[in-house]
Every structure is written in C-alpha cells, then in structure tokens.
Amino acid sequence: MLLTKAALVSGLLAGSTYAGSIPSNVKTFYDGLKSKGSCSKPLKSGFYALDGGSKDFSYCGDHMADYNVLYIQGKNGQLADMDIDCDGIINSPYSDGRCEASQDTQPQSSYIDLIKGYNVGIKDVDSYIHSYVVLGNYADEGTSGYTTFHPTDYGIEPLSIVAVVCNNQLFYGVWADQNGDD
C-alpha cells in the first residue's frame, strides 16, 4: 500500500505528462502484440474503440501471468486508441479550452473519494494538470445490454500507474477514471 500511495502522490502532484522514447524491450513486445493480430486470451469482448463503431475489441490477458500486462485489442492487430478525457475538476484555472466542447464531461472522476482520502492536497484529478487514464467499463445499476469489464477483478488497483504506448512514445498516467454506460 505504501508503494501505491507513494506512486499516487508522485503521479498526481508532479502534474506533468511524461512522454519519452520507448525502451527497445517494450517496443519489441508492443510490435509483437500488433503483428500477432488478436489476443489469445480475451478476458472480456464486445467493446468498441469509437462510439457507434464495431464491437470487436477485447480486454486481453495474454500476458497477465508473465508480465502483468493488460491491453485492449481489436481485429488485424489494431490496438485501442487514447481518448482525451476531461472528467474531474471542471473550470480549472489551468484550462486551455480543450474540454469545453465535450458533451460527455462529468464533474468528478470515478475515484474522487479515494483521492480525497489520501489527503495529499488535491480534491480530484484535473485533466489540465494530471496525466490519467480511463480503464474499465462500468454500468449503472439496472442498465441492461451494456458490456462491462472491471480491471479490479484482475488485480489492477484504482490509482495505479499505467504505461501507454501511443504514436511511438511511452506515456505514464494514473488510472483515475472509468468508462460509464452513457
């Protein structure tokens, strides 16, 4: 727990996005996932990368046992994209206008209570300051027909540090939000 709290404090208080070159072993691993084409051990399938798109993406567990890596993959090696998420603190003094056009912004992240409980001087994540990721698909109680996936069922703890490969760069963020059924 101390490691998680230390990672949270450094990840949230640092307040900047780290993007760096991909280490060769990570690049080889990433290229191998893409060239394989699809995952062998889907943990849950039926997700889409874009609203209204085909539901042919899966949360993949091929490397949970050997590397503790979870990833999201569709057909033909396609990996899920990185979306911009603006949930959390709204009307931030650091706002540059990117989130104002969003029709899907929530005034809190999924883990606002957990963040407050750490007493580290912030109320919630602020998308203009904190690098964070959205992971998992949760449905409101009583919602039917929505495919869900709970990363916590596979040992991934809220507010964990997550590595993301995007556009030939390696990014790190805190898992601070979830996809809802809206």
pLDDT tens for each residue of 48-93: 877 778 889 999 999 999 999 999 999 999 998 766 678 888 888 8
Taking CA 26 as the corner, what is the angle to CA 22 and CA 27, rounded to the nearest 5 degrees? 65
pLDDT tens for each residue of 142-154: 677 788 999 999 9
pLDDT tens for each residue of 6-38: 444 444 444 455 678 999 999 999 999 999 999
Contact 137, 146 (CB under 8 A): yes
- Give the model's pLDDT for residue 127: 87
pLDDT tens for each residue of 111-169: 999 999 999 999 999 988 888 888 998 877 667 778 899 999 999 999 999 988 988 89
Number of domains comprising the chain: 1
Residue 45's DSSP bridge partners are 58
Supply the range of the domain harboring residue 102. 2-179
Is the dihedral angle over the CA atoms 13, 16, 17, 23 positive or is it negative? negative
Query: What is the 3 state secondary structure string of the chain?
Result: CHHHHHHHHHHHHHCCCEEECCCHHHHHHHHHHHHHCCCCCEEEEEECCCCCCCCCEEEEEEEHHHHCEEEEECCCCCECCCCCCCCCCCCCCCCCCCCCCCCCCCCCCCCHHHHHHCCCCCCCCCCCCCCEEEEEECCCCCCCCCCCECHHHHCCCCCCEEEEEECCEEEEEEEEEEECCC
Is the dihedral angle over the CA atoms 105, 172, 38, 30 positive or is it negative? positive
Q: Which two tokens stand for residue 29?
A: 């691993």
Spatial separation of the C-alpha atoms in residues 122 and 126, rounded to whole Å: 9
Spatial separation of the C-alpha atoms in residues 105 and 103, rounded to whole Å: 6
Q: Which two tokens stand for residue 91?
A: 């009307």
Strands 132-137 and 169-179: parallel
Global pTM?
0.82
